[in-house]
C-alpha cells in the first residue's frame, strides 16, 4: 500500500484533483478526504521574570576568574 498526502488550500485545485481521481478505476484504489480547519496563529503571552539585584555588588575580577 502506498499513500499520497496533499495539503491543498485552493478549492479549485482540490476539485480538479478530485475529478481526476474519480475518473480512474475505483477498484484499484480508494480516496479518503480529511477536512481540517485552517489553524489560526495564537498570540503568545510573554512571561518575563524579574531579577532582584538591589544591594548585590558585581565584582568584575571575580567573574573573569570563573
Phi-psi category of 42—alpha, beta or left, where left has phi over 0 and alpha has psi -120 to 50?
beta
**What's the whole-model pTM score?**
0.46
C-alpha cell at 9: 488550500
| pLDDT (average), residues 3-18 | 86
Between 54 and 47, the more confident residue is 47
Distance (Å, whole) CA 56 – CA 58: 6
Where do runs of H (alpha helix) occur along 1-66? 11-22, 60-65
CA atoms within 13 A on the CB side of 24: 9
Candidates 33, 36, 11; CA nearest to 22 is 33
Amino acid at each position: 500500500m502506498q499513500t499520497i498526502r496533499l495539503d491543498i488550500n485552493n478549492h479549485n485545485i482540490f476539485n480538479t484533483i478530485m475529478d481526476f481521481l474519480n475518473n480512474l478505476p475505483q477498484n484499484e484504489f480508494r480516496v479518503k478526504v480529511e477536512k481540517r480547519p485552517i489553524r489560526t496563529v495564537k498570540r503568545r503571552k510573554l512571561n518575563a521574570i524579574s531579577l532582584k539585584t538591589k544591594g548585590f555588588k558585581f565584582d568584575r575580577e571575580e567573574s573573569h576568574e570563573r
